[in-house]
């Protein structure tokens, strides 16, 4: 299975996302923002970083890139898409997901091992989790505060489209503790924490068992491979 990873100018976690795909058993395919072809990949990851230096608004310029436009077109036909951190911001700016992301409530950039509750395990990227499962995924952002209108929040909750919720600590002031969302169809998922940083023992978050041994993020990438096989 070929999973594309888009690199925009200022993307930082592209190689990490490629590694995560490889460790999950997929074949990572590097994609360039200026190309309008996605090279026939079976799914796409929009990785973290500071595309275009976060100028204008985080993700706003990347949302206009030719590769993103193609992602928008194919996502509407069911292509699985995962937006991580800046990638989530790009998905919101592309209107594939509703709401917006603003400066963290406490104003600081924050990097921490974040506990999340998996609220929806029916999406292409979460089908290997249990509903209600607590997982630990590194979070690192300056503008991760999720906001939306009351109406949108009600709709998201009613349709079970909140995929992840912050547990124990809400690190950035997100409304309803929202850490990640999906679209109506469940093929597009965006979240602020970084699953690609919890895929390899020794380099992930700390766990009860051992230092840096957390690999909860691997399931994101294994989930999409399962979804593609079953599709």
Which of 16, 4, 231, 223 is CA-nearest to residue 118? 223
Residues with active-site annotation: 85, 194, 196
Candidate ranges 115-123, 144-152, 174-182, 203-211; the one touching other proteins (CB under 8 A): 203-211
196 belongs to the binding site for other proteins (CB under 8 A)? yes
Residues 33 and 124: their CA atoms lie apart, in Å, by 23
Structural tokens at position 25? 């058993």
By beta-carbon proximity to other proteins, the closer residue of 200 and 216 is 200
| Among 142, 155, 167, 228, contact with other proteins (rule: CB under 8 A) | 142
50 belongs to the binding site for other proteins (CB under 8 A)? yes
Residues 190 and 97: their CA atoms lie apart, in Å, by 8
Minimum Å gap between C-beta 100 and other proteins is: 21
Count the neighbouring beta carbons within 10 Å of the beta carbon of residue 144: 27
Residues 194 and 101: their CA atoms lie apart, in Å, by 16
Structural tokens at position 227? 């979804």
98 belongs to the binding site for other proteins (CB under 8 A)? no
By beta-carbon proximity to other proteins, the closer residue of 134 and 206 is 206
CA 100 to chain centre: 14
Which residues of the shown chain bind other proteins in the complex (CB under 8 A)?
9-10, 12-13, 15-16, 19, 48-50, 52-55, 108-112, 138, 140, 142, 194, 196-197, 199-200, 202-203, 206, 210-212
């Amino acid at each position: 299975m070929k999973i594309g990873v888009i690199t925009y100018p200022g993307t930082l976690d592209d190689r990490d996302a490629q590694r995560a795909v490889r460790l999950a058993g997929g074949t990572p395919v590097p994609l360039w923002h200026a190309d309008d072809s996605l090279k026939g990949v079976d799914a796409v990851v929009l990785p973290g970083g500071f595309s275009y230096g976060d100028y204008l608004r985080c993700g706003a310029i990347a949302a206009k890139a030719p590769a993103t436009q193609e992602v928008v077109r194919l996502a509407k036909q069911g292509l699985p898409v995962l937006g991580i951190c800046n990638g989530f911001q790009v998905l919101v700016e592309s209107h594939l997901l509703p709401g917006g992301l603003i400066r963290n409530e406490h104003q600081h950039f924050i990097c921490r091992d974040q506990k999340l509750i998996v609220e929806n395990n029916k999406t292409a990227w979460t089908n290997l989790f249990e509903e209600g499962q607590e997982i630990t995924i590194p979070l690192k952002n300056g503008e991760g505060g999720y906001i939306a209108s009351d109406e949108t929040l009600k709709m998201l909750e009613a349709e079970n489209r909140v995929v992840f919720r912050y547990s124990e600590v809400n690190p950035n002031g997100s409304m309803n503790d929202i850490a990640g969302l999906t679209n109506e169809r469940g093929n597009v998922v965006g979240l602020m924490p970084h699953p690609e940083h919890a895929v390899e023992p020794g380099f992930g978050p700390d766990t009860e068992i051992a230092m840096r041994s957390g690999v909860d993020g691997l399931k994101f990438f294994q989930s999409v491979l399962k979804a593609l096989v079953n599709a």
